Amino acid sequence: MHDLCAHAPRRLSEGWQCVSTPAGACATPASLDTFTQWIDAPVPGTIASALRAQGMSDEALAQPFAHADHWYRVKLAGNGKRRLRFNGLATITEVWLDDRKLLESDSMFVAHDLDVDLNGEHVLHLCFRSIAPALAAKRGRARWRPKLAQPATLRNVRTTLLGHMSGWCPSIQPAGPWRAIDMIGETRACIDDVDLRTSIDGNDGVLDVTVRYFHAQEQAPLRIACGDAQAAMQWQDAHTLTGRVRVPDVRLWYPHTHGEPSRYAVKLGDIDLGEVGFRTIEVDRGADSKGFQLVVNGAPVFARGACWTTADIVALDASPEKLDRIFTLVRDAGLNIIRVSGITLYESNTFYELADKHGVLVWQDFAFANFDYPDDEAFRASVQREAEQFLARTRRFASLAVLCGGSEVHQQAAMLGLPFDAYQQRLFTELLPNAIAAQRPDVAYVVNSPSAAPGDTASMPFGTRGGITHYYGVPAYQRSFDDVRRAQVRFASECLAFANVPDDIALRALPNPRAHEPRWKAGVPRDPGSAWDFDDVREHYMQTLYRVDVPRLRYENPERYLELSRAVVADVIGAVFSEWRREGSSCAGGIVWNLLDVRPGAGWGVIDVLGAPKSALHGLARVLQPVQALILDEGLDGLDIHLVNDTAREIRARVELACLREGAVKVAGGSSDVVLQPRSVQRVSSNALIGAFFDIAYAYRFGPRAHDATHVVLRDADTNEVLSEAFHFPDPSIGERRDIGLNVTVEKDDEGWSLVIGTAQLARWVHIVDPNYYARIDWFHLAPGSTRRIPLVARHTNVSASPEGDVSAINAIRSAAYRAS
């Protein structure tokens, strides 16, 4: 069996060197002789990743690299016709072969093919020029000037905003060959391009295949296979094969929360062409045409996930192993969608392959954000090419579900007082949707994020009651939890931004991890021009929910401050998503800002820079599983338990409720058998479960509160397996800590190390700190008298040490230490 690599282009990744020069210092490669400080350069990569490989710190890499020139060189050898494919060059680039300039490029997002005749040994030079002249060029007058990225003339240059957003990310400006460079045609059978298109016809899957060879081929008969189905390919000419294979009774690709992300291997003869999935994507806009719910294969999906930045702010690329670990964390947390925001860039094929594998939908913004973009012919032509290349490259991937014109363009203009007609741009209303209709008609299109519902010209683009919104009432604008229901959000493509505190191990990456120190604040995100940052947002909810004197706690007991900082974001996130997933909710999805940190510290990410999940991700995992019990406080009506079943199977279950005093004594309770229909949410009243009046929400306040916690368990009726748990605290403040009988033992089996954690009394927000491992399940509540087995994950691939650390709970007076023997 041959894989595609035997017929694929050779990646030019070895032997590269680079050197930086002042802008304009060298007009040609011949004038580089005076610059002798060449260093080895990783390709794909950037000038920053080359310097990092030489030992430069990430802090020192925060430089305006885009305003200098950077030269790369590599030796080529061969004879005959070849094609050089440059998959991404950042950003104003010249390509030289020996002393001849063969290409100029002014877009980071466009790939280039360059046909050359090789005759022995050659030197390939790439020059990444300063973007300053392009920034200074006149290209019409902008109708508004956003504060997000500086300078405002970045609107004229097709480059990522990463590195140009003060307060949002490190100022590491990208320059260099950030995507792979391929040599095509070194073997006679080298395949130049493979195009795979999937569709569904009735119960069958249909795969259309086009394969193009670089060299003319002997037109021998070949067959295409998709799984067990096969068909003959047809030669259109000496370079091009086409074919169609029908897969009967095809297994459909689903997001992992709603089914199996089924995929089929595709083979051309004995050549492996990869895998594809079959699915349909539709949008249900509701009876009033103002909603937005993704429907996959006819199944309505509550989309929950996080916004993507980059897995490596320096190189703008990441290894398949690193990306796979991230997608594993996403899947385990119950997330089923990632939004690649317009402030970032287009992700790699590996990213999409892993999204397909793990069953994670992708919402991809085109790389536009906030600006009033040019509308001249050259700009439109460049964007047309950019869009068509991206759509063609990602056509095979089932995970691509939503394409969006860009981020906060409508919002930016509307907030500056412009009327609806003034911020409509042909880029978003004509060019991009037309390209999608031609290339990916199976994917939903959204004109902007946020934006009003189609046809609604009266509402603000950031309004919450229709269309796509960025909901920050909770937490950024410090609204009460009541606002979540009052806002009537239909779909939040951004929400829940916090300065999420990483664990103690990640904090050690900071030069000074004490909160409010200057180095700490450098890692805390803020909106440009605001008088507050996202530490302030988190502290507001700490004070409101836990009723603590936050400033005093911060300087008197910084360890406790950090512990409660981690706990409160999990509390707030759980409350918001419980509201959005309840029966009768108007909301069909929420995407948290952001998935990944881009620097050490308390960033927006729910995964830290070392790749470990933060309390925020664990908080999401507590409320976003496919089978989930949720508790909503309905005041005088008590508590409602909402039982969610996203799966395609019926579940016979039993719901049990217990009201606990002093963390252990049951003072009220009840249970009931339930049948959870597929793809459903069912509400059960606490009053119905208890069967008598009990002030479970402590709303009537006829006397002292009779309990301090409510515990709900959803069990499988046949196996007694716990399917889900939920907790409610009528008074969320911590109160006095006590000895709750927390205990832990260490075990090891064929799958690795685990902790078995138990408690005599209810433990709130149990968490594990270990220098060499993180817990796969962390930041959870543990019911009295129960135990939980927690698998441990090595923080690094070469960890050989045994587990050793502490298990704590925020209501416990002491932690439980463990050490493997």
**Average of pLDDT values for 531-557?**
96
**Average of pLDDT values for 705-724?**
97
Instruction: Give the model confidence (pLDDT) of 351-360 as tens digits.
Output: 999 999 999 9
Phi and psi angles of residue 661, each rounded to the nearest 5 degrees, phi first: -110, 140
Residue 5: pLDDT band by 50, 70, 90 thresholds? low
Q: Which pLDDT score, from 0 to 100, does residue 1 have?
A: 37
In a domain, 735, yes or no: no
Residue 522: pLDDT band by 50, 70, 90 thresholds? confident
Lowest mean pLDDT among 110-114, 227-231, 530-534, 603-607: 530-534
d(CA 647, CA 680): 9
Pair type for strands 627-633 and 651-661? unpaired
Q: In terms of residue numbers, what domain contains 758?
A: 743-819
CATH number of residue 783's parent domain: 2.60.40.10
Residue 563 has pLDDT above 70, yes or no: yes
In a domain, 617, yes or no: yes
In a domain, 737, yes or no: no
Instruction: Give the model confidence (pLDDT) of 609-624 as tens digits.
Output: 999 999 999 999 999 9
In a domain, 722, yes or no: yes
Do 578 and 666 fall within a single domain? no
Dihedral sign of CA atoms 510, 515, 519, 524 in order: positive
**DSSP reduced 3-state for 212:** strand
Do 520 and 640 fall within a single domain? no
d(CA 425, CA 433): 12
* Cβ 178 vs Cβ 45: under 8 Å: yes
Do 267 and 336 fall within a single domain? no
* Cβ 653 vs Cβ 643: under 8 Å: yes
Residue 529 has pLDDT above 80, yes or no: no
* Cβ 59 vs Cβ 165: under 8 Å: no
Token pair for 344: 């970032």
* Cβ 537 vs Cβ 499: under 8 Å: yes
Do 364 and 507 fall within a single domain? yes
In a domain, 406, yes or no: yes
Residue where a domain terminates, one of 156, 184, 212: 184
Do 617 and 631 fall within a single domain? no
d(CA 331, CA 315): 25
Reduce the secondary structure of 345-360 to three states and give it as a string. Answer: CCCCHHHHHHHHHHCC
Angular region, 359: left φ>0, alpha ψ -120 to 50, beta rest = left
793: which residues sit within 8 A by CB, 6+ positions away? 773, 774, 775, 776
Residue 4: pLDDT band by 50, 70, 90 thresholds? low
pTM: predicted TM-score of the whole model, two decimal places = 0.97
Do 107 and 129 fall within a single domain? yes
* Cβ 155 vs Cβ 146: under 8 Å: no
Query: 497: closest CA among 593, 595, 369, 363?
Result: 593
**Average of pLDDT values for 237-260?**
98
d(CA 336, CA 591): 10
**Average of pLDDT values for 154-164?**
96
In a domain, 736, yes or no: no
Residue 756 has pLDDT above 90, yes or no: yes
Query: 415: closest CA among 484, 374, 472, 455?
Result: 472
Residue 821 has pLDDT above 90, yes or no: no
Do 159 and 204 fall within a single domain? no
Strand runs labelled E in 130-171: none
Do 269 and 374 fall within a single domain? no
Kindly write down the DSSP assignment for every residue of 540-601, as one continuous string. Answer: HHHHHHH---HHHHHHH-HHHHHHHHHHHHHHHHHHHHHHHHSTT-S--EEEES-SB-SSSS
* Cβ 726 vs Cβ 630: under 8 Å: yes
Mean pLDDT of the chain: 96
Give 109: exposed, middle or buried? Use CB within 10 Å, 0-12, 13-18, 19+. buried
Radius of gyration of the chain from its Cα atoms, rounded to whole angstroms: 28
**Average of pLDDT values for 156-177?**
94
Question: 549-554 contacts: CB < 8 A, separation 24 or more?
Answer: 554/515, 554/516
**Average of pLDDT values for 452-477?**
96
Residue where a domain terminates, one of 621, 642, 665: 621
Give 247: exposed, middle or buried? Use CB within 10 Å, 0-12, 13-18, 19+. buried
Angular region, 123: left φ>0, alpha ψ -120 to 50, beta rest = beta
In a domain, 283, yes or no: no
Instruction: Give the model confidence (pLDDT) of 68-121 as tens digits.
Output: 999 999 999 999 999 999 999 999 999 999 999 999 999 999 999 999 999 999
What is the arrangement of strands in the sheet containing 709-716, beginning at the earlier edge strand? 665-676, 651-661, 709-716, 722-728
* Cβ 595 vs Cβ 607: under 8 Å: yes
CATH number of residue 171's parent domain: 2.60.120.260
Token pair for 364: 């991809």
547: which residues sit within 8 A by CB, 6+ positions away? 733
CB atoms within 10 A of CB 12: 20
CATH number of residue 409's parent domain: 3.20.20.80
- Count of residues in the chain: 821
Q: Which pLDDT score, from 0 to 100, does residue 515 have?
A: 86
Do 218 and 329 fall within a single domain? no
In a domain, 492, yes or no: yes
Do 357 and 461 fall within a single domain? yes
Do 748 and 690 fall within a single domain? no
d(CA 802, CA 814): 23
Residue where a domain terminates, one of 600, 621, 642: 621
**DSSP reduced 3-state for 393:** helix
Do 179 and 195 fall within a single domain? no
Separation in Å, CA 453 to CA 445, 490, 585: 12, 10, 18
Separation in Å, CA 777 to CA 270, 498, 764, 793: 42, 21, 14, 10
* Cβ 358 vs Cβ 261: under 8 Å: yes
**DSSP reduced 3-state for 247:** strand
- What is the domain count for the chain? 5
Residue 67 has pLDDT above 90, yes or no: yes
**Average of pLDDT values for 636-645?**
98
